[in-house]
Every structure is written in structure tokens, then in C-alpha cells.
Amino acid sequence: MTNSGFLHGATAALALALVSPSCGGQSNGTAGSDASSPDPADAAVSPSEDAAAPWQYGDNGSYTAVEETFANPQWPAAGGDALDVHIFLPDGRQTPAPALFFSHAYGASDPGIYQDLIEHLVSHGFAVVFSPYPTLLSGPTVTTGQATRYKTLWGGFAEASRLYASRLDLTRVGFLGHSFGGGATPAMAHRGLVTEGWGTSAAFLFITAPWYSFEIANTNVALSNKTLAELPDLVRTIIQVYEEDDVNDHRMAIDLYENLTLPDAQIAYHNVLANDDYPTNHAVPASAITDDAVLDGLDQAAVWRPLDALIDASFGISTPEAAAELVLSVGPIPPYLDVPEMPTPVQAEGFYRFPWSSIQNLRD
């Protein structure tokens, strides 16, 4: 992954940071440049292509990331200078890579903010698509503004699936998101898994510190034509919160946990506990931009390790049954995680900058 264009900026009201957008990031290649890549129908998940066997969850794999960029055809005119979509591919992989679609925090439109996490995922043979959306929009209401951001976010994902059709295995997909992107992840997953029919072999959601969710109802189609109940039963999900997060109310995460109609053995709520070693604040999934967002032992133990195990449990790469037992079962996961059967908020709503009971929260 190239570091050029990684910009540091002021802290945003919602996100871990508000960064100055980079215009037209640099690339190590051109979109869809490998015309000789094998057909996805020939792909097979195997330890030699996807991860080391046995997979040491939390450790980096052997692949390096090749970054390519392309324009998002859905970037809105009201969104200012258009930002390119980034795709990170495992260098040297011969078969199509399982596709992971990452929705970033509000204002965190530079993938460098998540550089270590992205490189970690690609090191195990997965492709990561990072689709920026506009932070500031001229004129729209809260609701129409979120609709524009969701349309832009999805537009980048859809364009990646088109341009890189021969290099992505869309039968095995994951949707990941942080903060605003965490709240958007169910709607993005619905588009991919239900509307487009991706993930027919395996799919997962990894939602961290979610903000308000839009364009997704529970079961009532009168509220939205996309519902949580429509997500396929094969989906495995971790919803993760951070005990010292004072930005997004944990009730948003609990709402998604309680209303995703998945089998109990396929969904877990992870609380990253306050501890004497590392801060457990809103910025945990990121590792570059502020003093609160640095790569440390918490990233490896509380984010990378359970995420790796979730991917293994979903894609069946190394030891999927043991992986599922590790991260999708109720109980403590030492040293920093607790997995409750019935999550409860750790703070009153007034503790959070964005409480559940807000006019912005259409799911309230």
C-alpha cells in the first residue's frame, strides 16, 4: 500500500477524525489491468491461496498489497472534488480473491487511516474495496444527505465488482464498517447479498462502533424496501463496541444485534473492555490520524484476531469450527473482550455525543 496522500486533519464531530480529502489518490496500477486473471468460477478457497494453515489469528500473512484506484461514477455534484475508490489486491494471488467491502467513518475518507487493518486483511489473500463518500454536502436535509452518501458508498463497491469481475470472488464476501460506515454496513450488505446475489457460498459482517443506520428496517417493508430479516441465514456477524467510546451510543449496536434475524450461533456482540494497557475509545479500528488512533496490541488482540476468526468461520479456510467457537460463543475472550448473551449499554445516553434518542436516528 502506498502512503502518498495520507493527510492529517482536525477531529470531526462524528468520526474518529475529519481529514482533508485527497483528490485522485496515487495508484500502483490501473483499474482492472489484469485481463488474464482466471474466471471466478475456477476459484476455490484453499489454505495456500487464502491464509496460512493453521491460521494464526491476529498475525499478518504473506501477501503484500497492491493498490489501484478508479473513479466513482456515483460521486455527487454537490460533494465537492471527487475522491477515487481504492482497491487493495494480494500481490501474486493466482485465483480470484474473496472480496471485502469496507465502509469508513465519517470524514475518514483517506484509506491511510485504516492502513494497518487493510494491509493485514490483504496479507491473508483477500481483496479490500475502500469507497469514499462525501463528508460535506451542499443543501440536503439529514435524510437526503445520508441517502446521497449511501448511494456514493455503494456506487464505489458496485463499480469495483464490475471493473474487477475476473479478480474478485463475489461468492465469498465480507462487509466491514466503522462508525458512520458501521451503521451503513447492513444496508450495503443488503445491496450486495440480496439485490446482487453475492455471497452465495459465504458472507460475513464486521460492524464496529456503529452510528445511526439508514435505509434498513427490521421486517416492515412499509418503512424501507430493505430489511434486516432478508439477509441470508448463512451470514456470520460480529458487532463490536468499545467500552470507553463516548461518540456513538452503544444502543445503536445493540439495536442491530437484536434485530438481525440470524441464528444465535452466527452472531455475537463484542464489548472491548476498558483496561490498563490501551484506550478503548471510538478510534480503536483505525491506526493512523490522531494520538488516539495508533497501532497497538489492542488492534491485534481485540480487532484483528476476532475478525480473522470470523473470516475463517465464514469462509472455511483453516479451522472454521474452532474459529466460530472462539468468537461467536457467549463468554469472555481474554484479555480484552467480553461476549454477552444479552448486551446492555454501559453508559446513559447523555454520555454519548450521538445518543440513541436523536431526531437523526430514524430507527428510534
Question: Looking at the 3D structure of the chain, how many domains does it have?
Answer: 1
pLDDT digits (tens, 9 = 90+) for 253-263: 999 999 999 99
pLDDT digits (tens, 9 = 90+) for 165-178: 999 999 999 999 99
Q: Is residue 11 part of a domain?
A: no
pTM (two decimals): 0.87
Domain range for 99 is 40-351
Confidence of residue 13 (pLDDT cuts 50, 70, 90): very low
Q: What's the mean per-residue pLDDT of the chain?
A: 85
Q: Please state the separation of Cα 276 from the chain's center in Å.
A: 27
Start-end of H helices in the chain: 47-50, 115-123, 142-163, 180-189, 250-259, 297-298, 305-315, 320-327
pLDDT digits (tens, 9 = 90+) for 145-204: 899 999 999 999 999 999 999 999 999 999 999 999 999 999 999 999 999 999 999 999
Cα 49 to Cα 42: distance, rounded to the nearest angstrom: 13
Q: Is residue 66 part of a domain?
A: yes
pLDDT of residue 221: 60
Cell of 186: 447492513
Checking if the pLDDT of 135 tops 60, the result is yes
Q: What is the dihedral sign for C-alpha 276, 255, 207, 12?
A: negative
Which of 15 and 271 is assigned the larger pLDDT? 271
3-state secondary structure of 103: strand
**Segment (H or E) for 237:** strand 236-242
CATH of the domain at 80: 3.40.50.1820
Q: Residue 135, exposed/middle/buried by CB under 10 A (0-12, 13-18, 19+)?
A: buried
- Cβ neighbours, 10 Å, residue 277: 11
Average pLDDT over residues 342-356: 97
Q: Residue 250, exposed/middle/buried by CB under 10 A (0-12, 13-18, 19+)?
A: buried
Q: Is residue 227 part of a domain?
A: yes
Nearest to 40 by CA among 217, 269, 192, 201: 201
Q: Is residue 269 part of a domain?
A: yes
Confidence of residue 222 (pLDDT cuts 50, 70, 90): low
Cell of 241: 463496541
First to last CA, the chain: 40
Q: Is residue 178 part of a domain?
A: yes
The answer to whether residues 184 and 209 touch, using CB atoms and an 8 Å cutoff, is: no
What phi, psi does 43 have (nearest 5°)? -75, 145
Q: Is residue 5 part of a domain?
A: no
- Average the pLDDT over each of 1-5, 88-92, 239-243 and give the range with the smallest value: 1-5
Average pLDDT over residues 215-241: 86
Q: Is residue 305 part of a domain?
A: yes
3-state secondary structure of 250: helix
Q: Is residue 334 part of a domain?
A: yes
Which of 66 and 137 is assigned the larger pLDDT? 66
